[in-house]
Amino acid sequence: MICSFSCRMSDGFLMEVCVDSVESAINAERGGAGRLELCSSLLEGGITPSIGLLRVVKQFVHIPVYAMIRPRGGDFLYSDREVEVMKVDIELMKSHGADGLVLGTLTEDGRIDTELCVELLSVCRPLPVTFHRGGGISERNLQRILEGSGAQEFHCSARCNRDSNMKFRNPHVSMGASLSAPEYGLKVADVAKVRALNAIAKNTL
């Protein structure tokens, strides 16, 4: 279920960067990404992005944008109602310009839910689909992964921490639970990191 799409592979490989903001999308393209995986809330592993985010990202980048279809964080065992949400989200992403879709489902014993995947793929047509997931790629392990797997496509987030521009900060009240992301810190795709991964892939493949 790995997609085939006419993305730029002039260097013999395709680097996809997962992003959850317009800033990260622009940075990823500037750094040499050939495709974007667009989602919201990367701190939860990525969930379905808003239509607004998809449409604005499409205005600012020229590389293909694949939209994540994941109705919530947590595991990949979905209820019937969650599957209905996924189907509606697929139709919305298709109608608002997504170039492809990203999804994954498991059974309760951790196997790929082939039956449900096939059902969702039929809704995705004619768009290409990537079955996720494959996180954790960095400058430290990319060469080893490419040499060991023979893969010509890889996926990364290449993020860095950026301090918020907020001047007013209230240390006594925070957004969300105590383990949530810092309110005054942002994680964005870093142009230099994307370029570094790009260079590693060029030298390896």
Q: How far apart are CA 10 and CA 50, in angstroms?
A: 31
Higher pLDDT, 3 or 127: 127
DSSP 3-state assignment of 58?
A: helix
Burial class (CB in 10 A: 0-12, 13-18, 19+), 133: middle
- With beta carbons less than 8 A apart as the criterion, state whether 154 and 137 touch: yes
Higher pLDDT, 105 or 178: 105
Residue extents of the structural domains in the chain: 14-163
Report the pLDDT value the prediction gives residue 176, as an integer from 0 to 100: 63
DSSP E strands in the chain: the ranges are: 14-19, 35-38, 65-68, 100-103, 129-131, 153-156, 159-163, 185-189
pLDDT of 178 > 70? The answer is no
Strand partners, 36: 17, 65
Report the pLDDT value the prediction gives residue 78, as an integer from 0 to 100: 97
pLDDT in tens, 35-47: 999 999 888 889 9
With vertex at residue 140, the alpha carbon angle to CA 136 and CA 141, rounded to the nearest 5 degrees, is: 60
pLDDT in tens, 100-120: 999 999 999 999 999 999 999
Q: How far apart are CA 118 and CA 140, in angstroms?
A: 35
Q: Out of 1.10.3720.10, 3.40.50.20, 3.20.20.380, 3.40.50.1110, which CATH number does the structure's domain 14-163 have?
A: 3.20.20.380
Q: Average pLDDT over the chain, rounded to whole?
A: 88
All residues at 6 or more sequence positions from 116 whose CB lies less than 8 Å from its CB, including other chains = 78, 83, 105
Which two three-digit tokens encode residue 179?
A: 């383990």
Band (pLDDT 50/70/90 cuts) for residue 181 is low
Band (pLDDT 50/70/90 cuts) for residue 4 is very low
Report the pLDDT value the prediction gives residue 148, as an integer from 0 to 100: 92
Average confidence (pLDDT) over 69-79: 96
> How large a percentage of the chain has pLDDT more than 90?
66
